[in-house]
Amino acid sequence: MAGLAESGSNPDVELLYDINGLAKAAPPWFDRVMEFVGEYGLLLAMVLLVVWCWWSVRRRGGEDAAASVAALVWVPLAAGIAVLVNVPIRGFVERPRPFYDHEGLEVLVAGKNDYSFVSDHATLTMAMGVALFVANRRFGVVGILLGLLGGFCRVYMGVHYPTDVIGGFALGTAVALLLSPVAAALLTPVLKAVERSSRMGWLVSGRGRGGPGGAGAVIPGARQGEPGSGSGAEGAGEPGSEERRERGLAA
């Protein structure tokens, strides 16, 4: 198999050896960093990115807050659905991990005994990145870059072929994009109901409705007829006001 890589007759294997060869040349501490990043770090970074995006959308508020938050709710759902779709694909293809068929690989993570195609990590991170891009372009670009880095790390770690990663990118993107309109139609009414809730509305919008200074607001301590009291002209309609004016004329 190594001969195939050297001859270039199998670009998938050749690229696997080229990228994984970087792990052999790198110092041990760098491989440990890449192991953590590829296995856990990028997933954690993706979650934090989604939370950051939600916080900025919530603070901004506005009429489209419910739709924006609904799109963010779709991000983890898209990842979960994409991974579920991948279960029968992996069982059908039954492709062994590359280190079973190719010698000389630097495998950074032990215990990977399941099938290789399609990469769960690549599927999950790219589904989140693309779904986040649908919700927010600025944050989504960062999410997609994290997904691409995650795919590179899986090959670097020696646990996936490049085509495993490419297949994961394609699957995650397809699920995130194709089901996004359905998710928006189902989730937006739910988030609008949450926004109207007095207890959970803060999850959608940080700006209250009818707050201080709004129409009909009454300023505490303001007397009738004073600005902000919600009444008409000053003194209008007060009991005895006409009688006091007549007494002042008589005096």
Q: Where are the domains of the chain?
A: 50-203
pLDDT in tens, 203-223: 887 765 433 333 333 334 444
Q: At what angle do helices 42-60 and 137-156 cross, to 10 degrees?
A: 180
Residue pair 77/183 in contact by the 8 Å Cβ criterion: yes
Q: What are phi and psi of 166, to 5 degrees?
A: -60, -40
State if pTM tops 0.85: no
What is the pLDDT confidence band of residue 43, given thresholds at 50, 70 and 90?
very high
- For residues 7-33, average pLDDT: 87
Closest CA to 151 of 132, 135, 170, 138: 170
- Angle (nearest 5°) at CA 15 between 32 and 8: 150
Instruction: Tell whether the model's pLDDT for residue 246 goes beyond 70.
Output: no
- For residues 87-115, average pLDDT: 89
The pLDDT of residue 60 is: 80
Closest CA to 112 of 38, 16, 31, 28: 38
The pLDDT of residue 244 is: 54
